[in-house]
Amino acid sequence: MKKHNFNAGPSVLPREVIEKTAQAVLDFQGEGLSILEISHRAKYFQPVVDEAIALFKELLNIPEGYSVIFLGGGASLQFCMVPFNLLEKKAAYLNTGVWAKKALKEAKGFGEVVEVASSADANYTFIPKNFTIPADADYFHITTNNTIYGTEILKDLDSPVPLVADMSSDIFSRPVDVSKYGMIYGGAQKNLAPAGVTFVIIKNDLLGKVSRYIPTMLNYQTHINDSSMFNTPPVLPIYAALQTLKWLKENGGLKEMEKKNIAKANLLYNAIDNSKMFVGTANKEDRSRMNICFVMKEEYKALEDDFLKFAVSKGMVGIKGHRSVGGFRASCYNALPIESVQALVDCMAEFEKQNAK
């Protein structure tokens, strides 16, 4: 049976990326060694990092004056590295979900933090609007896509202070005007690579402005100076990321990805909106293209477990909603084909036909 991978992360990757990475595990570039056992200092691995950085800059059209680095620790480590490096007096945060809240919590250990707006009272079902960003903040932090609640900021915001964005789950899903951001970061395990590597895009002139001592490994400048090679980087995930970046370029770049992602999201949201049994959870104007969250209507709540079992029997993988919200979540990252979304839509329709009153 064909599997349809809707996992929220680690998640679906292009098949050719998996195959090329698997080949490198067996024999890296004909060297007779596995990529798992080569030195990251070897002359034939440095070009992998260099090409990955070059493709980052090309695909995202990153302007001059920005650096791209690869780190460990996931986006969760960035929650403290961002304020460690950038917060001198005050930072502003938009609270749109669990990960935004965690980032805000970490920042409070480094200085004054202003929560400019929050949708917590509505269980994060919308993106707050019409908030004021303090002009004296060192930076303004947003989480562009909220995987648990299915909301997404789909426009590049204007900010009077440097804009810092956690784009773990929607990077490369649409074109981004990087010039509007001081920094973009994210864990790679959703749209880019297996778990284990974190990307950081940062405007160089933001650094060196805090008065505190920054431990060497937590200082962005350390990793910029050594081209992500200060210590042993996560070699295998970087290699897989390079294969994904090549795949993105070969498949039309980010405009084409956005076109396909809109089509996938529209297909599933239309099915939800026209269903007798299912209903979406996020405000329509703020719906995520990456993580589509829905539940059973009240009169059918008792059938949620039955639907999950039915969906699994049809090859659907990972559609159970996050434990904190329940229901269902279909993560439709770049590598998920529209055929898988159609298979889920057909599965929902079949279950509804059998069980709707």
| Element at 58 (helix H, strand E) | helix 46-59
Residue 316 has what pLDDT?
A: 98
Which domains, ranges and CATH numbers included, belong to the chain? 15-250 (3.40.640.10), 252-355 (3.90.1150.10)
Specify the pLDDT at position 74. 96
What is the pLDDT, as a whole number, of residue 353?
96
What pLDDT is attached to residue 308? 97
Task: Give the closest residue to 112 by CA, choosing from 139, 152, 132.
Answer: 139
| Ramachandran angles phi, psi of 187, nearest 5° | -70, 145
- Examine the pLDDT at 357 and tell me if it is beyond 80: no
In the predicted structure, residue 323 carries a pLDDT above the cut 90 = no
> Mean pLDDT, the chain, as a whole number?
97
Provide the annotated active-site residues.
99, 166, 190
Q: Which pLDDT score is estimated for 41? A: 86
- DSSP string covering 91-119, please? EEEEE-SHHHHHHHHHHTTTSEEEEEEE-
Q: Are 170 and 127 in contact (CB under 8 A)?
A: no
Whether residue 136 is predicted with pLDDT greater than 90 in this model: the reply is yes
Which of 49-58, 203-212, 237-246, 323-332 shows the lowest per-residue confidence on average (mean pLDDT)? 323-332
Enter the tokens of residue 241. 């990321």
Cis peptide bond prior to 14, omega within 30° of 0: no
* Residue linked to tokens 């789909």: 154
Q: Give me the count of residues in the chain.
A: 357
What is the reported pLDDT for 356?
85
Which tokens hold the place of 288? 């995520």
The token duo for 61 is: 């059209």
**pTM of the shown model:** 0.97
Candidates 180, 351, 185; CA nearest to 277 is 351
Greater confidence (162 vs 40) lies with 162
Report the first-to-last Cα separation within the chain, whole angstroms: 30
* pLDDT band at 270; cut points 50, 70, 90: very high
Which of 179, 188, 177, 161 has its CA nearest to residue 254? 177
| pLDDT per residue as tens digits for the range 81-126 | 999 999 999 999 999 999 999 999 999 999 999 999 999 999 999 9
**Residue with more model confidence, 323 or 222:** 222
- pLDDT tens for each residue of 272-294: 999 999 999 999 999 999 999 99
Banded pLDDT at 22 (limits 50, 70, 90): very high
